[in-house]
Amino acid sequence: MCVVSPQQVTLTLKLWEDGFSIDDGPLRRFHASTTRKTRSSWQRMKKPKTKILSGQSVLIRLPSGRRVAAEFGPSETVAHLRSYMLKMDPMLENQPFRLLNAATRTEIPIGESSLSSERLFKTLVIVRLDPK
């Protein structure tokens, strides 16, 4: 039997006038039926059973420590993911970096392989700066 100890995860909850967001995720409206259970569990001081990542999303940890959840289509490639990262953090344009799959601890080759073939949906991709 394999026993896995729980990991502590830190999330940032941002409250807006008409809703809330978790980390850099989408705005969740206060009055939407999908957020009622989440709000209800907060009121009871219980951890909500909300999934951080949906089916076609990738969680990205930038070198600054900032986490970004991004939605992609099944045919999009690792090159598309890289382009998205450059838009999120323009400082990466002038620095060599590697992409790592946090689940498998392996480097992700930047190229035309699809995100689904690399099994990157619902996983954390770490951007690691290469030393100059």
pLDDT digit string (tens) for 93-126? 889 999 999 888 899 998 889 988 888 988 899 9
Distance CA 81, CA 50 (A): 25
Q: Which residues contact 74 (CB under 8 A, 6 or more apart)?
A: 56, 114, 115, 116
- CA–CA separation, 94 and 108 (whole Å): 20
DSSP one-letter code for 107: E
Q: pLDDT value at position 129? A: 92
Predicted confidence at residue 5, as pLDDT, reads 46
**Looking at the whole model, is its pTM more than 0.75?**
no
At 66, the amino acid letter reads R
Parallel, antiparallel, or unpaired: how do β-strands 97-101 and 13-15 relate?
A: unpaired
Residues 69-101 have pLDDT tens digits of: 888 887 889 999 998 888 888 889 889 999 999
